[in-house]
Amino acid sequence: MQTSSPNSSAASKNPYTIAIVISILLILWLASGFIFKSSAPTEQEEQQLPLPQVKVETFQSKPITNTIQLYGRTEPDRIVTLRAQVKGAIIHVFAERGSFVNKGDVIAKIALNDLPAKLEHYQTLLKQRRIEYYGAKKLFTGGFQGESALAQKLADVTDAKAMLAQIETDIANTTVVAPFSGVLNERMVEVGDYLSPGDEIAIIADLDPLVIRAHLTENQVLQVRERQSANIHLLSHRNLTGTLRYLASVANEQTNTFKAEITIANPDYRYRAGISSEVELPLQQVNAIKVSPAILTLDEQGNIGVKTVSEDIVHFTPIQMVKSEEDGVWLTGLDDTVQVITLGQGFVRPGDKVQAVNSNIMEP
């Protein structure tokens, strides 16, 4: 007869307990091996990973004149529309469209009609009213006429003077003259046209000086002054020099900008009004570097800048654009000598350690 040991009987009574204990021991053993394996080896693997390469270019800052760029169109200094002030038919035209006219030159003449007869009538009437007034004055002095009657005669003289002056003005207005020297840009009448008061006759534009009207922001208006010079580039690729002649003291309520006027000397009327133009207002000199706009980037706050490398660490440097040209932009806010990432800046972040490779060594 066999006898069972106490241990075997306990195991047979609690098989599930033993299985659970064994499972826990296996899990702990496996977990301990994973932890010890992933601690030190991971650091070694990270140290053995190659650093990301970025292409850099060394830039040296140069002194450059800071400028404010404005855009506008050339306009006449003055422009006026001549209108008829009396009714009548055009009997003569003297100036052709596009011709230059001096101040006082006759543009056209309107028929006098009955104005000469009215002039003679009111001249005679004025003489009559004066005679009546002097007669009333003598009677008033002699005590034979009241003061009110004398005042009425004086009023009649004044009325006659006013009517005569109106006729003389109407006669003068039948001759339409240029109020200032300029170009007869448009003439709306021909001989025989009948005009009423207010009808358009001609448009005269003064193109010397030529004016470019633009607008400055709040920050820009603090950096410029009236009478300073300006560099002007017209659409026809002519580089000219102008003058900032006017700067508004009150901002536009809707745009919060300040109106500015830049003038260009145009004595021979070589340049026309309505041409697109770019104006540069020179300011102080600053140190800047010239780069391609493609390397500009934004940080997490939306600030514009460039990514640079110093001691193999990536840095983000905010910048300010001084001026733009066809082949690049000039930036300030950087050191005099700086290594700028020109390729790969989108794959690294500030603080990353990288391997900087000069642009003439790293292949694209």
- Check residue 231 and report its DSSP letter: E
Kindly state the tokens that stand for 84: 């008829």
Residues 292 and 280 in one domain: no
207-251: pLDDT as tens digits: 999 999 999 999 889 889 999 999 999 877 678 999 999 999 999
Reported as a pLDDT band with limits 50, 70 and 90, residue 259 is very high
Positive or negative, the Cα torsion across 43, 45, 50, 52?
negative
* Shared domain check, 101 and 184: yes
pTM as predicted: 0.63
- Our count of domains for the chain comes to 4
Query: Could you tell me which residues are beta bridge partners of residue 90?
Result: 110
275-332 confidence digits (pLDDT tens): 999 998 988 888 898 888 888 888 888 888 999 998 889 999 898 888 778 788 888 8
Final residue of a structural domain among 239, 269, 285: 285
Cis? peptide before 15, omega within 30° of 0: no
DSSP type of residue 197? T
Which residue shows structure tokens 């000199």?
285
Residues 156 and 231 in one domain: no
pLDDT of residue 42: 54
Does the residue 363 lie in any domain? no
Q: Are residues 195 and 101 in the same domain?
A: yes
Residue 323 domain boundaries? 53-65+286-358
Domain boundary among 202, 222, 254: 202
Q: Are residues 57 and 42 in the same domain?
A: no
